[in-house]
């Protein structure tokens, strides 16, 4: 009853949705994560298959205990409930370090 889904929203609507949401479920793209950090949201991130940067970002933030990251084949409503118990993204995650982007370095 308390879950609403959106396929696509414009910036103003997105801001309103984020401001009123308790937990956000979305892909783990960089710009989405930045939106959640600014709004200090609790999130369940589902990396797009084959998108190594999304997989990396999801695993990294999940290892910090700030979000839930799960692949789309194993996602369940239970993950949303688990995310409610986390602190969510906060100021610390807004300050990204070079280590976070080591995946993208050329060898």
Q: What is the pLDDT of residue 93?
A: 47
| Mean predicted lDDT score pLDDT of the chain | 86
Residues 6+ away with beta carbon under 8 Å from 71: 46, 47, 49
Q: Is the pLDDT score of 91 beyond 80? A: no
- Residue pLDDT, tens place only, 14-64: 889 999 999 999 999 998 998 888 888 999 999 999 999 999 999 999 998
* Residues 82/64, Cβ–Cβ less than 8 Å: no
pTM: 0.78
């Amino acid at each position: 009853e308390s879950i609403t889904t959106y396929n696509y929203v414009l910036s103003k609507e997105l801001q309103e949705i984020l401001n009123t949401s308790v937990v956000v479920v979305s892909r783990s793209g960089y710009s989405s994560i930045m939106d959640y950090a600014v709004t200090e949201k609790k999130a369940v991130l589902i990396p797009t298959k084959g998108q190594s940067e999304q997989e990396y970002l999801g695993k990294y933030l999940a290892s910090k205990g700030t979000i839930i990251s799960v692949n789309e084949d194993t996602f369940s409503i239970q993950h949303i409930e688990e995310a409610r118990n986390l602190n969510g993204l906060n100021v610390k995650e807004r300050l990204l370090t070079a280590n976070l982007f080591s995946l993208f370095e050329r060898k």
